Structure 1
Amino acid sequence: MSSSVQRTRVRKSPEARRAEIVETASGVALAEGLECLTLRRIADELAVRPGLISHYFPSVEDLVAEAFGSAASAELDRLVPAGTDGESPTLRLARFLAHTAGDSYDAISRLWINARHLSRYRPVLRDRVAVQEAAWRGALERLIREGVDREEFRTPDPYVTTIQILVVLDGLGAHANTDTADRPAAVTRMAVTTAERELGLPPGALDLPDGPGPEPDPSPSPVTTD
């Protein structure tokens, strides 16, 4: 006698279903690029009908913008996490910069480049890019201002220093599509050295305790004669 077990189909709430769609779209965007996002592609990934995706995102442009915004927000939360009031601004900034030098950050760098390129002719995405740029700029500026208030950092204009650090990170991100295996340590540390210089910190102040230190000065020691 044979028996069969009928599977119970779990119906997800609209909030959970939408979050699932956005998470899946963000994953595809990070791995393959925003151009690869279509309603059918995400439906295939989730093994559902395209009509379900279009119920939540009638336009693929809305899905593209949401996927980018979700990925960028998640990365910012990782870089500048909440609930770290007990840590010094110096340690939090050091951790931020250490994360931006990792392989996982290359993926979000590529996504930013991708989004900025596409946003030239996609208004919905352009608006989302602007929102995320303001969020990243604001989070880093608040951290720097806190460091100034605690007299850990010295800078006449925290906003300008914030922009300088982000511009360096954007420049390094432009190399994310190339082979970075042979990237000199001085280049990898460029954002760190910029931050240390602009915030009045000594070399190595923004290195994590278990991380690499600054490169030694390559210039020869002066030779003295009697």
Structure 2
Amino acid sequence: MSTATSRPRVRKSPQQRSEEIYAAATALAREGGLSALTLRAVATRAGVASGLVAHYASSMDELVARTFHDLVGAELAEVCAEIAAEPGAAARLARMIATVLRRDHNDITLVWVDAWSLGRSNEALATAIEEQMAAWQDAITEIILVGESEGAFRVDDAAAVAWQLLAMIDGIAAHALTRGTDAALFATRLAQASETLVGAEPDTVRRHLAAP
């Protein structure tokens, strides 16, 4: 007579369990945006009881805010790493535009779109949005300042121009996602508009865009 052997249960540390829950939230947000983050959905993806999610996340608002912060912060870090090797501000601006409008950034665009709506009733998320938008503005401002030091750009207020560029990029990405259009198709037009905003000569930024 054979005896069934039970698989030993492994007790996970609080840190391991917390990491699993946040990893589940991150995966759900990439697939369906921040609106997909419900207590039940996160618990199901993590393979735990809903009560355990509530135990390790102080609130769903906090879980949503942290997921947003981590996802968009990682995107910015990746974009900055991509453009860092480009030779000069014009090439960096072109690379940034082309990168954030690629289809493989649509998941983060959806996260942003949800965040702008959900942030109205989620204070923690609203704070994270402000932090990340400021970080993006700072990154673009730095590109513009480098362009000024090179003599390629000329602006009165680098931070204000960076804010306007960021709004244009976000607008195009969000509209393209909503309408099912490839945002990358508008990279050339955006690069052309950016040349006016940063006070660059025509084709200064556009010539650095990769051929379609």
Normalised to the residue count of structure 1, the TM-score between the two structures is: 0.78
Distance 2:85 2:69 in 1: 26
Tell whether 2:161 aligns with 1:161: yes
Contact 2:94 2:208 in 1 (8 A): yes
Which has more radius of gyration?
1
Query: Any conservation in 2 of the 1:115–1:129 contact (CA below 8 Å)?
Result: yes
Q: Which amino acid aligns with 2:161?
A: T
1:139 has 2:142 as partner? no
Judge conservation of contact 1:43–1:49 (CA < 8 Å) in 2: yes
Distance in 1 separating the partners of 2:151 and 2:19: 41
Match of 2:108 in 1: 108
SS of residue paired to 1:177: helix
Amino acid at match of 2:181: T
Aligned partner of 2:180 in structure 1 is 179
**Where does 1:63-142 land on structure 2 (aligned, <5 Å)?**
63-81=63-81, 84=84, 87-142=87-142
The higher relative CO (CA closer than 8 Å, separation ≥ 6) is in 2
Deviation at 1:78, TM superposition (A): 1.6
The answer for the alignment partner of 1:217 in structure 2 is none
Instruction: Classify the secondary structure of the residue corresponding to 1:80.
Output: helix
1:147 alignment partner AA: G
Kindly tell me: are residues 195 and 2 of structure 1, through their superposed partners in 2, closer, same or farther at Cα, counting changes over 3 Å?
farther
Quick check: which one's helix share is greater?
2
- Alpha-carbon distance between aligned partners in 2 of 1:4 and 1:150, rounded to the nearest angstrom: 74
Once the two structures are superposed, the pairs formed by residues 19-34 of structure 1 within 5 Å of their partners are 19-34=19-34
Provide the C-alpha distance between the structure 1 equivalents of 2:6 and 2:139, rounded to a whole number of angstroms: 50
Answer yes or no: is the 8 Å Cα contact 1:110–1:173 preserved in 2.
no
Q: 1:123 to 1:177 in 2, by over 3 A?
A: same
Q: Tell me which residue corresponds to 1:212.
A: 211
Q: Which runs of 5+ in 2 are unaligned?
A: none
Structure 1, residues 42-76: CA drift from partner, whole Å, max 9, x if none? 12112122233222203111111111111111111
Deviation, 1:17, is: 4.0
1:28 touches 1:37 (CA, 8 Å); kept in 2?
Answer: yes
Moved beyond 6 Å, runs of 4+: 1-6
Corresponding position: 1:38 with 2:38:
yes
Change (3 A) 1:18 1:191: farther
Quote the RMSD (CA, aligned, Å).
Answer: 3.0
Match of 1:50 in 2: 50
Structure-2 residue corresponding to 1:197? 196
How far is 1:141 from its partner? 1.1
Aligned equivalents of 2:171, 2:27: Cα separation in 1:
24
How far did 1:146 drift?
2.3
Q: Distance in 1 between matches of 2:189 and 2:95?
A: 15
How far apart, in 2, do the equivalents of 1:91 and 1:9 lie?
55
Say if 1:196 and 1:203, in contact at 8 Å, map to a contact too: yes
Contact 1:168/1:190 (8 A) holds in 2: no
The TM-score normalised by the length of structure 2 is: 0.82
Residue of structure 2 in register with 1:224 after alignment: none
SS at match of 2:178: coil
